[in-house]
């Protein structure tokens, strides 16, 4: 039985995140936890937590799950898994094990769930990890994701906190998945554009992480629900620097600019606009469409890494050879100024 999963949801993927403003408020009153082995926690708005086991070994733990972002169940399983695994890669680590997180309605045929799980399993296997189990809840709208455990050498952790003035920012994948999915739901995206977006979301960030490790990169993140601008903002604040994004250089998926121009802008982009408002400045030369592009919520987006200028050509070549042909420089890190991010 073929069911278009997108007909079941209003907001899919990372677009379904709570807004950063609401999240901060919800977390505001929780007491801060400290322990000598906690290397990375929520303090710097990082992608995952890191807990030191030995001086040469730390565990990375993270979780991510969401409602369908695409029509097909097998695709959805793969994308949700790639997205959850990405947080480990964004910390510079490698995947060890994962647990399935499943919410699934009794009203849908079980064959769909099987396909979702097969997608997840295949992606985790591609990442070199193992699914050890999971947990399932009956719920009206299907949701799928993973809780992932990975590892990293404590000296090789990549965080939001160590971007340095003079670095340049490299983005590994094109953006615009939120816009394409939204357009696809309304029959506005071409088949080609939709398929490219699906492939883009399925692609693991493992090889990007290897490049970060090889070049000793200390600051990076993956681009997901808060959009390129929202994640750049977290990096700028985490590192106490300012970031400049050159919006004209940001790579985007086929059809994306036409769709924005048509007005196909998902609500999540407006939510990201609200949560970045006041912390980011758009130069007057940035047109409205580019503004909404950098605010578009991504699902399983690429890595944004802060690299030394002298390494950038080498890094771009390695990334392109590793299967990220759109990898490019999208901005730079500068000394802290009044605002966190400046988009030109």
Partner 1 sequence: MKIVDVKGMKCPMPLIETKKALKEIEAGETLKILIDNETSVKNVTHFLKDNSFPVEQVKNGDVYELVVNRTGDDSFETVDEVAYCEAPAQKDNSYEVVYAKDRIGEGSEELGNALVGAMLHSIKAMETLPTKIIFMNSGINLVTKGSLVLPQLKDLEAKGVGIITCGTCLDYFGKMDELEVGRVSNMHEIMESMLAVGKVINI
The binding site for partner 1 (CB under 8 A) comprises 10, 182, 186, 188, 244, 262-267, 270, 273, 281-285, 288, 291, 332, 334-335, 337-339, 342, 344
43 versus 261: smaller Cβ distance to partner 1? 261
- What is the rounded CA–CA span in Å between residue 33 and residue 14? 27
Q: In what order do the strands lie in the sheet with 143-152?
A: 38-40, 49-54, 57-66, 143-152, 94-104, 130-138
- Cβ proximity to partner 1: between 131 and 168 the closer is 168
Residue of 14, 70, 264, 280 marked active site = 14
CB of 282 to partner 1, least distance (A): 6
Annotated catalytic residue 14: yes
**Is 252 in contact with 293 (CB distance < 8 Å)?**
yes
Helix residue spans in the chain (DSSP H): 20-27, 73-90, 110-126, 177-185, 191-202, 206-214, 227-239, 256-262, 267-276, 288-295, 312-321
Report the nearest approach of partner 1 to the CB of residue 129 (Å). Answer: 36
CA triplet 103, 107, 112: central angle to 5 degrees? 65
- Nearer to partner 1 by Cβ, of 81 and 304: the residue is 304
Q: Whose Cβ is closer to partner 1: residue 57's or residue 288's? A: 288
* Distance from C-alpha of 153 to C-alpha of 230, rounded to nearest angstrom: 28
Question: Whole-angstrom Cα distance, residue 119 to residue 123?
Answer: 6
Backbone dihedral region for residue 309 (phi beyond 0: left; psi -120 to 50: alpha; all else: beta): alpha
Cα-based angle 201, 83, 80 (whole degrees, multiple of 5): 85
CB of 10 to partner 1, least distance (A): 6
In the complex, the smallest distance separating the C-beta of residue 72 from partner 1, rounded to whole angstroms, is 21
Q: Is 169 helix (H, G, I), strand (E, B) or coil?
A: strand
- Compute the least distance from the CB of residue 198 to partner 1, in Å: 20
In this structure, what token pair is assigned to residue 343? 């988009």
Query: Which residue, 86 or 182, is less far from partner 1 as judged by CB?
Result: 182
Q: Which residues are catalytic?
A: 14
């Amino acid at each position: 039985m073929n069911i278009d999963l997108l007909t079941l949801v209003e907001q899919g993927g990372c677009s379904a995140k709570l807004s950063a403003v609401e999240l901060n408020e919800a977390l505001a009153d929780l007491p801060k936890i400290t322990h000598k082995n906690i290397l990375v926690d929520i303090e710097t708005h990082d992608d995952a937590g890191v807990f030191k086991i030995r001086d040469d070994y730390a565990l990375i733990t993270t979780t991510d799950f969401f409602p369908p972002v695409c029509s097909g169940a097998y695709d959805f399983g793969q994308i949700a898994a790639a997205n959850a695994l990405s947080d480990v890669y964004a910390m510079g680590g490698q995947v060890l094990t994962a647990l399935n997180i499943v919410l699934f309605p009794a009203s849908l045929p079980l064959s769909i769930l099987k396909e979702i799980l097969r997608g997840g399993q295949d992606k985790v296997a591609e990442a070199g990890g193992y699914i050890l189990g999971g947990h399932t809840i009956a719920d009206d709208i299907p949701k799928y994701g993973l809780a992932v455990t990975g590892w990293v050498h404590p000296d090789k952790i990549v965080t939001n906190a160590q971007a340095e003035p003079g670095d340049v920012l490299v983005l590994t994948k094109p953006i615009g998945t939120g816009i394409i999915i939204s357009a696809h739901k309304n029959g506005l995206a071409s088949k080609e554009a939709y398929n490219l977006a699906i492939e883009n979301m399925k692609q693991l960030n493992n090889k990007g992480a290897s490049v970060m490790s090889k070049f000793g990169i200390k600051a990076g993140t993956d681009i997901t629900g808060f959009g390129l601008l929202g994640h750049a903002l977290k990096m700028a604040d985490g590192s106490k620097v300012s970031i400049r994004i050159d919006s004209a250089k940001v790579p985007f998926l086929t059809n994306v600019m036409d769709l924005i121009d048509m007005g196909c802008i998902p609500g999540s982009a407006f939510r990201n606009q609200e949560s970045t408002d006041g912390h980011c400045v758009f130069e007057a030369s940035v047109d409205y469409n580019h503004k909404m592009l950098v605010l578009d919520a991504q699902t399983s987006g690429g890595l944004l890494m802060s690299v030394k200028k002298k390494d950038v050509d080498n890094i771009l070549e390695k990334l392109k050879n590793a299967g990220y042909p759109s990898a490019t420089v999208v901005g730079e890190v500068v000394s802290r100024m009044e605002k966190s991010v400046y988009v030109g």
